[in-house]
């Protein structure tokens, strides 16, 4: 008798295996996430969010900026650029979006069709940080503007090498971070959080124009967020745009691959 698949992770893995077997660049990273391999500055992910009490799951693609470190109250990675994927047209009842019900025997084949048709062509087409950022900024989101998000704009422009613009946004958020940093320093025996320590260090590197230190700090953020999203074995530190015209970095300082 076959063993019953009971946990969300087991169901998601069983659902994903046929897709992974057909697409060598797709990997299961654990829990509810798949990713396109070759993870660099921004992870191109697929999230299968199980709602066990309701008997269905939701499906979405998402772009997660790993160079933006999450704090202890946040799961990490902005991942605000997302797209929900419903069922194929033939499985959508009139007037409904098409729900991914676990007990529907047609979901296995339709999952592969929808991801290969609606998700993978998009994610494969945005294969560099420049292309991904251009795509993100082209998306309209109700009640939210990336251009008004000074944290996102600061670190994204820093990653792209637009240091003057990054400094402009850093100056707008410095008072808040400095206040939190000084409050933590004033508490005896209270260690400074890695989140605040990283932010202050990034700000200092931006102000001095220290490209090497800035790259190392952003790579540290990426490693932290890659581990948080269980992307560690798929992520690799890749050169930022502001480094590509420079002398290749040696193994001690970081890689020189694209």
Q: Which of 204, 132, 129, 136 is nearest to 160 (CA)?
A: 129
Confidence band for 57, pLDDT divided at 50, 70 and 90: very high
pLDDT tens, position by position, 14-37: 999 999 999 999 999 988 999 999
Q: Work out the angle between the directed axes of helices 107-114 and 8-22 (0-180°, nearest 10).
A: 50
- Residue 241 backbone dihedrals phi, psi, to 5 degrees: -55, -35
Instruction: Note the pTM of the prediction, 2 decimals.
Output: 0.84
Q: Does 249 score more than 60 pLDDT?
A: no
E strands, 12-132, where? 26-30, 33-36, 42-51, 56-65, 81-85, 100-101
Q: Does 85 score more than 90 pLDDT?
A: yes
Q: Does 115 score more than 50 pLDDT?
A: yes
Q: What is the mean pLDDT of residues 96-123?
A: 91
Q: Does 191 score more than 50 pLDDT?
A: yes
Q: Does 120 score more than 60 pLDDT?
A: yes
Confidence band for 148, pLDDT divided at 50, 70 and 90: confident
Confidence band for 250, pLDDT divided at 50, 70 and 90: very low
Q: What is the mean pLDDT of residues 70-89?
A: 68
Q: What is the mean pLDDT of residues 118-138?
A: 94
User: How many Cα atoms occupy the beta-carbon half-sphere of 146 within 13 Å?
Assistant: 20
Q: Check residue 8 and give its pLDDT.
A: 87
Q: Check residue 226 and give its pLDDT.
A: 93
């Amino acid at each position: 008798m076959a063993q019953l698949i009971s946990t969300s992770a087991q169901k998601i893995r069983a659902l994903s295996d046929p897709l992974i077997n057909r697409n060598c660049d797709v990997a299961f990273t654990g829990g509810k996430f798949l990713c396109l391999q070759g993870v660099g500055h921004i992870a191109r992910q697929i999230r299968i969010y199980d709602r066990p009490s309701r008997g269905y799951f939701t499906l979405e693609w998402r772009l997660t900026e790993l160079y933006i470190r999450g704090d202890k109250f946040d799961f990490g990675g902005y991942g605000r650029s997302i797209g929900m994927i419903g069922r194929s047209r033939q499985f959508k009842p009139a007037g409904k979006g098409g729900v991914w019900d676990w007990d529907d025997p047609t979901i296995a084949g339709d999952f592969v069709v929808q991801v290969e048709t609606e998700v993978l062509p998009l994610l494969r087409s945005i294969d560099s940080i420049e292309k991904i950022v251009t795509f993100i900024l082209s998306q309209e989101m109700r009640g939210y503007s990336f251009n008004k998000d000074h944290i996102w704009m600061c670190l994204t422009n820093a990653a792209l090498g637009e240091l003057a613009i990054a400094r402009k946004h850093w100056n707008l958020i410095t008072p808040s971070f400095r206040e939190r940093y000084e409050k933590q320093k004033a508490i005896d025996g209270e260690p400074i959080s890695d989140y605040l320590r990283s932010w202050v260090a990034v700000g200092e590197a931006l102000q001095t124009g220290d490209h090497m230190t800035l790259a190392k700090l952003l790579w540290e953020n990426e490693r932290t967020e890659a581990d948080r999203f269980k992307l560690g074995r798929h992520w690799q530190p890749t050169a930022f745009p502001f480094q590509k015209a420079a002398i290749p970095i040696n193994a001690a300082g970081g890689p020189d691959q694209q």
